[in-house]
Structure 1
């Protein structure tokens, strides 16, 4: 057999050399999707390797298939090679496109004594760098070992580089950290950030040295220096799962030690401290799936009864392990500081209940281990139950069998409603009705991970509903029905022992065989419950943080902010009360004065001033810089209609303090209007028809000495796209023409020989101001034409 195995290994090596890593799609070979995690890839590899191993498979292509599976697993289990394949399709590690890896063989990592060079010859900084090199790991080792094992074993990983003076200064602190945490079971390693740059970027490491804490595949970066060991340990404490260790007092100890529905052994840690030691916390994290830990503070007055109950000495640390079959401890250890190795040995021997429940795949693997050899098969007797309360006595009777069982026989029970797929597989494989499986016992032999051989016990496990609990116990007073119950129970036990004894023989074959899926993890919480638990965790952690001295500065800042906000709110409240008081007083005065208005109150109106000689200086000559006067030219006939429309158009600008609105009666001030036009146009004589000037709007800028003009016949309003060309012709080409103002439409001469002359339609008086709104928009944008004057002419009084 040994020669045969050696030949297979040689054949595998030879085929691997011939193929030269030229494989197909590794995902298809292993039957996993492209986003599969490393545990899924490992699981698929194990199953395929067992199926296609040349010693077990007689297929002629089994050897090549086995080599192909092995190569696919090696590629996908290496993060860098997997990334190279996903991005570029590279399957050959020696390809010219593949990045050459750094050689770590010279570092001699993971030697028995990593500090053997700390002796009398320790003098230079190079030996400090050698400290990091000793524990340096690759990205592949980090992901395949440290990250995967962090589910049960916490790890501290330091990122460093060669030419880093801060790293050299941190070497002594790192050495103390290794000496303190390595005996507690913490994994410590270093990563060269220069050689493993992709790993450093993926975990957000932007500078060195950088310390990271890895717990349950989560990477937490410690952002402070390495000089303070207590701060690092406190940071680790905060990253452990919420309520990993429960605090016990005399009031809640009974509920804790009597509740085994979580299917875990109870561990009580007794210390003369207010908080549990880190060594026990790390142990609780390692065995949190199998053991429920609680902490008892011996210095508290609320724990005296619990201390006396378990006979704990106050001067020493004590761990007590409890199981469901007895109120007495199943194991106890007491010493000054319990070594981590002792903790592990004691818990490993008592990590399962006397009668465990198949509540997850991990429990099934421990209670019913895989054994493919028939001569060394292990049997697992499983009771199908509904709940612990209904089957309490049946489970108690099963525990008596479990305590006396040999090493090759295990006893357990399973809830039918919690593991429906598992129960369906057993029922379908044997053709039994699902409704008749309650109180039945099935004997299982797990030959492979997904294939089991099993056989049902013909007798149903007996129950006695009307029996008193004392009558169901052995040695107690029994009635007639209780006697019949014990007779049936003894017969069932004998039948089960005979069935187990027969199935333990290597030549015996179980009656049924079926394939099963992985068991459902009953302890896994749903998404909503996880969110609620996380919210409760944050609130309680915040409350706990506020009780420590570290929160003093945070509390002072919060108190200051709250005081400022309260003062601001109080001042706003006083202002609001004062405003309401003033409003009430105004309302009272308004009611007392009746319909009379206070002259000091702002009137919701806009005044239009008449531009005449008495107001000329105030409206034009003495205006402040930046102010403009908007003047409408009217006559007595159109005054009422045009002023009403003008008032409506300029109403939105009433709050603009740089604008003054006025009107000009053209009959009394035609000479002033003609002189303003004449000064801006530069002509000699200008005949102006007063009637044609009605509806003109002047925007005067007294300080800058220019004005903008609006008129319905003005080229700027009639044809905007030809405005500049017409102005050029009118102002430049006809500069000497006394009729130069004709472009405004103020003259009575209708003759024009310009072939580009634009003859607008007939305008009515009510339509003269239709384009004023658009012109005002262009006025405030600065896009209207400006007519400059040397001075503002006088306005005479008639």
Structure 2
């Protein structure tokens, strides 16, 4: 009877709750024409207002249930259609329909009640009281972005997504408590996230259900994919996500290479233990100090590690930690305990995380070794040796290292010793050598630095450099000691001051490694988040896209084959071996700003570009003659052909600039563009010179038989016109005489070019030419161009294209 009474009470409560479900449109304050977006917006607003955790009203729980019921009805098209037609709201529970109560976006009104049966029908809709560990450790999206991601670079983080009304979350709460008790002492960060309140963060991390476990390392999330959560599976998941060689296993075979690897600017740490697995605390300390230390693990109960334990006198009943700097034979710090606490290991490594003579390899190292000290009376000095990444500089570094070992005992807090590679820290060295008193050759020199603030520092160069020869070394040591003591114990100002930029990070990954890491991370994300149901449509879409692209490529290839087949009769020739080969074509490009670099500035050695000057009107007349003269050289792969439209202001300005650069003395030029028509320029981009052809150019006047023609003229008593210098003006298109330069070459009378005429030279030197006569001597000039007998106008550089 007691059972029946209890059952009656439960059913009465359920029916009481559901009987409150009125018109869902009225509950959400919506019209019957509301779409899904309006329904969602109204639901979020009311759910936030009446959520039991945020509203202390006694009616909050019932109101919250009613809001969820109305939302579910209106978001279900079938149920909404039924309500609109009949007014039925399905007040009775629909046990045939299986709701996904594992999702934090759904609400299960029965979960809270039936989960309370074991507690005597208390009907508690809240998931615990103020002592709930999920609520204590809960963080927001803003806290995740601003704090957790940055902290995960040094401290691993374990994140758990939960929600209210989640029975599975309550089941793993004891496991989470145990994880917290085990991981918190070894520097493991742990936080929980309410998936219902932080929907954007859940979406960003790919969380689809609750509870959901994620491990965060250096801002990268790793997803827990097991079906159930337990202590063993959670620890295995955490251990497997650390980098493979974060803590290396060390035996007799690799001990020497491990300890001698300090040239990477990191100290070496050996941890001796008896377990065959590497403890999590060793992994977390390795993660925190991975930028400054390399950690190795020696398992003491193995035969191949006995000599290591004997070598460093390590007891076999306690765990031991040894820290090594440059000397692999003697550790600089050690600690032995039955169970090494994380805090102890951290303190030991933190106090010895820099070598005796570390390298300034990044800004973080520079800030740690040479911190800012603005008070002159409390200067903190940084003694830096300038070297190169060269074995021949090892003696200099070794000498300063020996000096630092003896000197650090006295002034370790205020003086640090370091070195740098000059070829790696170029900008830093440029700032130090900007002063007039800096040494010309800075290798093997010491500079003493004092940082006033983050970007400003004062410095002083050690006189005489850092000598390592036995007869000079003592002098260098005494000079360094005197300079350091003088700067520490007096207010004497340092002679130089400069502004520095951030140091180059020598340990930063290159672009290739960053791409590889991104690909690996993307692969991990796909493996952990993409199911087979998601993969099939994605593969289908990818195959479709590839098929379309391949089809387009095949079609374009077939069109190209058809075009080649149509023109094959004119584009082939038979070579001396009888093979049919494609006929070389003569392509004439236009020289302008877009093609300037390719046609001239970036020419390979031995290559030249032949450029003809014309305008729109003369192009149709001159281009066939230019094409005909250049056609015999179409097979020459060292030649390119182009034309320059002088009607473009930028083209005319560029032509004027190269003429000025070719003159022995710069002077102002008055150029008539009409006088430049028909000029041909051969430009050698690599050797920076050009050759000129023009009908009035002296080289065009005297062809292959120039000397014979001149002799004939003299014997006939004809007075020869003086030959103009190779850099005279009018053949280039300009003249000192403005009247002459303004003449139009197209307005002249007929030119006679027969040497057998009565006055061949006088007619040949006439200032009057027609357009169809401008390129008559181009073929002969091209022959002399390849013979090397044309005049070369050398310039210092190719000017920039105007307006580019």
Report the TM-score when normalising by structure 1. 0.48
TM-score normalised to structure 2 length: 0.47
Larger radius of gyration: 1
